[in-house]
Amino acid sequence: MDDSQEYKDKKAYFEKIITLYGRNVVIEVLQDSNIEVHKLHLASSNKTDGAIKTILNLAKIKNIKITYHEKNSLSRISKNAKQDQGVAIDIIAQTYKNASEIKNLQNFRLIALDGIQNPQNLGMIIRSCAAGNVDGIILPKKSSAKISPLVVKASAGTLFKLPIYYCNSLDDVLPNLKETSIYALFSHAKTSIYDVEAEKKSIFVLGNESDGISSEVEKLCNNSISIPMQRGVESLNVAVTASLLAFMK
């Protein structure tokens, strides 16, 4: 293997690593035999009782490497000093994929998220998509909620059940997907979601909780659809909208 390929493989491996934090979350991860753990991080100041004792026992059973840190160093790993509780864990998410892989798929129905910032919304969207007729979610890193304990909790154990395609922004992905129907969800669109016959390659774009789809992303869509509303109701929560899309025929 040449150096360039080795570098690409190593980069791809580390891009799949997601860091979670918090004692209860770490215990749940360690108890899940389907989640591959890269490394466990503990603050050296933790008392070895209660949840920490449970974490240590689970790590020993699963033969997981533990690295101890000063509290400040651990906070830099978790990126959440107020809520990490002296614990962080690196997991290898095999379903966390680079969005460049989408172009290799022959058929797909995806939901793309444009600026979804509420972690609970993201978790509920993931749960609905995992349960419904969706092949994956496109999640930009820019101006979006990150995979976090709140997302894990809201997804109710479904986070790693379907592919999540990451990218810096939707601008990096959508223009490269040829022969793909890209639907923007707008309240004023004339075509109803119930009148859409999804193409072999379809992407449904959901916008920010407050501002909707950005003008930049709107230009990348070639269709617009809406959810028919009754009794003067203007809109639905974005996670509810994702649920309706996930169970379209």
Compute mean pLDDT per 10 residues along the chain, 249 residues long, and list them: 69 84 93 90 94 96 94 93 94 90 94 96 96 95 90 86 94 92 92 87 94 93 92 89 91
Pairwise CA distance, residues 137 & 188, whole Å: 24
pLDDT at 232: 85
Pairwise CA distance, residues 114 & 218, whole Å: 10
pLDDT at 242: 95
pLDDT at 3: 66
Look-up: residue for tokens 């919304």? 121
Give the CATH architecture of domain 96-246: 3-Layer(aba) Sandwich (3.40)
Best CA proximity match to 111, nearest among 144, 146, 139, 153: 139
pLDDT at 156: 83
pLDDT at 30: 94
Specify the pTM. Answer: 0.87
Pairwise CA distance, residues 147 & 156, whole Å: 13
The widest CA-to-CA distance across the chain, in whole angstroms, is 64
Sign of CA dihedral 24, 160, 246, 187: positive
101: which 2 tokens? 């892989």
CATH topology of domain 3-92: 60s Ribosomal Protein L30; Chain: A; (3.30.1330)
Q: Where are the domains of the chain?
A: 3-92, 96-246
* Beta-bridge mates of residue 18: 91
Q: How many CB atoms lie within 10 A of CB 64?
A: 15
pLDDT at 2: 64
Contact status, residue 150 vs residue 120, Cβ threshold 8 Å: yes
Pairwise CA distance, residues 39 & 20, whole Å: 11
